Structures are given as C-alpha cells and as structure tokens.
Amino acid sequence: MATTTPSSDPLLAILREHYAGRWRIRRTDHLWIATTVDRRTEHAPTVAETDVEEFVRQLEDPPARAGRSLLDRGWMGNRLEQIGDGVYSSPEQPQT
C-alpha cells in the first residue's frame, strides 16, 4: 500500500495546508487519514474515510471521542516525555 506525497497529490497538499494547526493528514491509494494535532481534544483523534468529501466533512465536524488516552491521565502524562509523533519515553529507569 503506497502512501501518496503532497508533491504528487495537489489535493493532499491543499488539505494539509488548510488543516495544518488541527490535523496531520496523509493518504493511501484508497484511504484518507487524519490524526489530531492536539491529543487532549474532545472529538475523535483519528478520522479515516475512502471518500474525500466525507473525509472533509468529518474534519470540519469530527465525530465524538470514544474514550481517553492513558497519556491524558495525570500520573502517566506527567511521567512521559514526547520524543516524536506518537512516541513517548520515560526518563526513569525500568524497575526490576
């Protein structure tokens, strides 16, 4: 499954520019995918659609969130450091 790049897909580039502060957008040959920039948002953190028009409708009015990330909880969120997109690390050594 190949991922399309903005240089080869003008619509992808336009959507990324328009939603830059709210969504990270990518696509495959058959699927449009967006993940929220703000993990503490009240709406669904991920939107995936095969139809671009429905995809944009959901970006404008995302569905409700199904649950909360463990990272949103104080104990875990305060102990982890974000080192990449969706990648977290603990400065503490593992306990044996």
pLDDT per residue, tens digit, the chain (96 aa), is 555 655 689 999 999 999 999 999 999 999 999 999 987 788 889 999 999 999 999 999 998 877 656 655 565 667 778 787 777 788 877 776
In a domain, 94, yes or no: no
In a domain, 1, yes or no: no
Question: What is the value of pTM for the model shown?
Answer: 0.63
Nearest-angstrom CA–CA distance, 50 and 32: 6
pLDDT at 80: 78
pLDDT at 56: 97
pLDDT at 79: 75
Provide the number of structural domains found in the chain: 1
In a domain, 52, yes or no: yes
In a domain, 19, yes or no: yes
In a domain, 32, yes or no: yes
Phi, psi values for residue 54, rounded to 5°: -65, -40
Calculate the dihedral angle through the C-alpha atoms of 65, 57, 55, 41, rounding to the nearest 10 degrees: -30
What's the domain range around 29? Answer: 6-89
pLDDT at 72: 59
| Helices of type H across the chain | 10-18, 52-60, 74-77
